[in-house]
Amino acid sequence: MKSCKRFLAALIAAAMLLLCVPALAEAPQVPEVPEGYDGYVVFGVSALTMGWGYIMYPELVPVHEGETLAAVTARVFEETGRACSYYGTVEEGFYLTGVGCEYTDPNVPEYLMNEILAYPDWADEQFGYNFGEWTGEFDDDRSLSAGEYCTMSGWMFVEDNIALSTGADATVVNIGSVYQWFFSIYGWGMDYGLSDGWGSFPLFDNPMEGVSRVEADRLLAELNADEESMDRLGRDSELFNNFLDALFDVNATQAEIDDAAQAIRDFLNPVIEMGDVNLDLVVNSEDALLVMRYGMGLVEDSDIALMYADYNGDGEIDLSDALLILRAVM
Ligand SMILES: [Ca+2]
Ligand SMILES: [Ca+2]
Ligand SMILES: [Ca+2]
């Protein structure tokens, strides 16, 4: 009975140690999947090629096993109160036509606008017809819709930065994947660097080609779901703003996007040095004192990060560790 109690006490102490050491858990933390769902996907909407960044930041959306992207899309828009229009039904013929959007002033990157403006002449000369042109026309109805600004514009989606051949109603979502709807204004996804234009459009140097925002989208969704990490990072912080700048910049390289994301992960998950038993990211006399007090039995297991306490690595936490820490900092 007694040993059972002791075991229980040790177990509780271990559990408390875990609770008391938040810096050890990988941040941002993915929240538990809500009851009745099977997992998360990341879901977002971008209008990068219009120069408007993301019109819906990537979010963690709980999904059911076997749910289609059409179903998820309709559900997300309904739940978030964002306008959304589509042809067909969620079950059949789903075709997204419009998404709530406050922007109306196009800021299309110059390289892309040059391509769009030159396209009709190029295609007319090549084939005697063309698939569309820039008109700049739109309905001021707080929705970004197919056919606006450019006669070939429309909504498309990517799964983990890959354009699928299935429609959204036939695409069963993969738990953990990143889905991004985007507004294409040229070459049916060619502006996103996703296709070669099937020979119907001239090739051009597209800075978005070969650049994936999947991991950055995931990070942004996780940050949005983890208030504590977001608070630590700060919405006005340079790190966060650099990250958004890279994500929304069509000219950003993969390295620029990845580095900006990694800087945030590094900030949220600092490397804890051996001896830093109070986890304040410096090893100093306070840590030595804490180890000393622990060695004297004056400190509870839950009040010290034990895995950083055995400074000499001999398997014991005692005064010699405290002295070594003290010597190292002096
Ligand atoms: Ca509109
Ligand atoms: Ca410390
Ligand atoms: Ca030791």
Q: Where exactly are the structural domains of the chain?
A: 2-25+272-329, 39-268
Cα(243) to centroid of ligand 3, in Å?
Answer: 41
Q: How remote is the CA of residue 315 from the centroid of ligand 2, in Å?
A: 20
Q: How far apart are CA 111 and CA 251, in angstroms?
A: 10
What ligand is nearest to the CA atom of residue 281?
A: 2
* Cα separations in angstroms, 36 against 62, 64, 74, 82, 225: 9, 8, 18, 24, 18
Q: Which ligand is nearest to the CA of 100?
A: 1
Distance between Cα 234 and ligand 2 center (Å): 23
129 pLDDT higher than 90: yes
Find out whether 204 and 111 touch, Cβ atoms under 8 Å. Answer: yes
The DSSP bridge pattern shows strands 95-100 and 84-87 to be: antiparallel
CA of 32 relative to ligand 2 center, distance in Å: 31
Average pLDDT over residues 230-244: 97
Q: How confident is the model at residue 330 (pLDDT cuts 50, 70, 90)?
A: confident
Between the CA of 259 and the centroid of ligand 2 the distance, in Å, is: 28
Tell me how far the alpha carbon of residue 291 lies from the centroid of ligand 3, in angstroms: 10
Give the distance (Å) from ligand 1 centre to CA of residue 92.
25
pTM, full prediction: 0.82
How remote is the CA of residue 267 from the centroid of ligand 3, in Å? 29
Q: Using the mean position of ligand 3's atoms as its centre, give its distance from the Cα of residue 309 in Å.
A: 7
For ligand 2, the distance from its centroid to the CA atom of residue 287, given in whole angstroms, is 5
314 CA → ligand 3 middle, Å: 5
Distances (CA, A) of 207 to 72, 112, 228, 250: 30, 10, 35, 7
Q: Which two tokens stand for residue 184?
A: 């294409």
Judged on CB neighbours under 10 Å (0-12, 13-18, 19+), 98 is buried
Report the distance separating Cα 38 and Cα 174, nearest Å.
Answer: 11
| C-alpha distances out from residue 217 to 42, 91, 210, 286, Å | 8, 27, 16, 40
Contact 301, 256 (CB under 8 A): no
Percent of the chain with pLDDT over 70: 93
Residue 322 Cα to ligand 3 middle (Å): 9
Of the bound ligands, which one is closest to the alpha carbon of residue 311?
3
Say if residue 30 is exposed, middle or buried (CB neighbours under 10 Å; 0-12, 13-18, 19+): middle
101 CA → ligand 1 middle, Å:
8
**Segment 22-60, tens digit of pLDDT:** 445 789 999 999 999 999 999 999 999 999 999 999 999
What is the Å distance from ligand 2's center to 233 Cα?
20
Kindly report whether the peptide bond that precedes residue 202 is cis, defined as omega within 30 degrees of 0: no
* H/E segment holding residue 18: helix 2-20
Other beta carbons less than 10 A from residue 238's beta carbon: 9
From ligand 2's centre to the CA of 26, what distance in Å? 19
CATH of 2-25+272-329, one of 1.10.10.10, 1.10.1330.10, 3.40.50.10440, 3.40.50.2300: 1.10.1330.10
Q: What is the pLDDT of residue 24?
A: 59
CATH 3.30.1360.120 describes domain 39-268:
no
pLDDT tens readout for residues 176-233: 999 999 999 999 999 999 988 889 999 999 999 999 999 999 999 999 999 999 999 9
Q: What is the mean pLDDT of residues 136-160?
A: 97
- The closest of 71, 101, 100, 104 to 84, measured between CA atoms, is 100
Question: How far is ligand 3, taken at its centre, from the CA of residue 4, in Å?
Answer: 28
Ligand 1 center to 289 CA (angstroms): 65
pLDDT of residue 6: 52
Q: Which ligand neighbours the alpha carbon of 279 most closely?
A: 2
Average pLDDT, the chain: 92
> Ligand 2 centre and the CA of 274: distance in Å?
9
